[in-house]
Structure 1
Amino acid sequence: MAKPLKCDVCSEPATVHLTQIINNQIHKIDLCENCAEQKGITDPSGYSLADLLVKPESNQGAETSALSCPECGCTQREFKKSGRLGCAVCYETFETVVSPALLNMHKGDSHKGKVPQRALERATFMDRLGSLENDLKEAISSERYEDAARMRDEIIELKKAMEAAALED
């Protein structure tokens, strides 16, 4: 079992952990609640993701604040209180509230995941190979034999590169 982190100021158990990047250097500091408050780092009332996403109900139209999920019954008020949506349908129900906020915080409002580099390279190879094969057929049908020969050679080289990459895996 790992030992709890100690406050960098007073050696009490740390509950506030800050990470800051300055001039491409990572600086970490661990503070107890008292030291964090003394330094003005914490807000005793706290905040949740919902506080960032949902505007106060007084600033929104009545139809938005009355929204509730037809699947799980989660309301906008419950979302704001807990910071959590109840189910997958909630994302559709509260889309007008959640989507604009996510667009401001991230590159998009849908999760695409990561693609392993080798899979990306393989897909690029396959796309290029398919394109070359289509161009080769077109060049042959339009009797551009010099272009067809160049494409054929490029296809052979591409297949060799794909085989070499497969052997490295």
Structure 2
Amino acid sequence: MMCDECKKRPATVHITKIINGEKTLLHLCEQCAREKSIFDVSFNLEGEPFSMQKFLAGFFEPFMREFPEKSQPLSCDRCGLTFPRFSQIGRFGCSHCYEAFKGQLDPMLRRLHGKTYHVGKVPKRRGGKIRIKSEIERLKRELQEAVNAEEYERAAVLRDKIRELEQKLGRS
């Protein structure tokens, strides 16, 4: 398979983007992938093993350009990890980093996944509260859509369902 960009070299980098449910395939050679700044595909062949963290960290590099460094880079109050350092290593220092970097993460997650909230599987035995919270969030989004569309009867039904679930959540 040849590179989609230059159509000269064999494609060695295969990227599947899924944005808002729309799937796009991109097949690039190393040089075009590097030029497009998708991520750095050059691996150190001098004995350094492949690192998934370094590989994933490369995905954040294009987003870093959107957030020019201020005089003092954003950092986590708890562990001291800075956002530029996070983008280099590809992992957080502690659980508080999620909140500390929320402003930078939301646009990235929205571009990468189309959403900024979890839509995956939840454990059956221990996920009761998580499922209820997720359902409440979904209903709140539906409620907002109903109000925007001036569907007030539907909005009232959704409001009542939200209240019922919030009461159920408070009891458990």
The reply to whether TM is greater than 0.5 is no
Query: Per the shorter chain, which TM-score range?
Result: 0.3 to 0.5
* Structure with more helix by fraction: 1
The TM-score, its normalising length taken from structure 2, stands at 0.38
Say which structure, 1 or 2, has more relative contact order (CA 8 Å, 6+ apart).
2
For normalisation by structure 1, the TM-score amounts to: 0.38
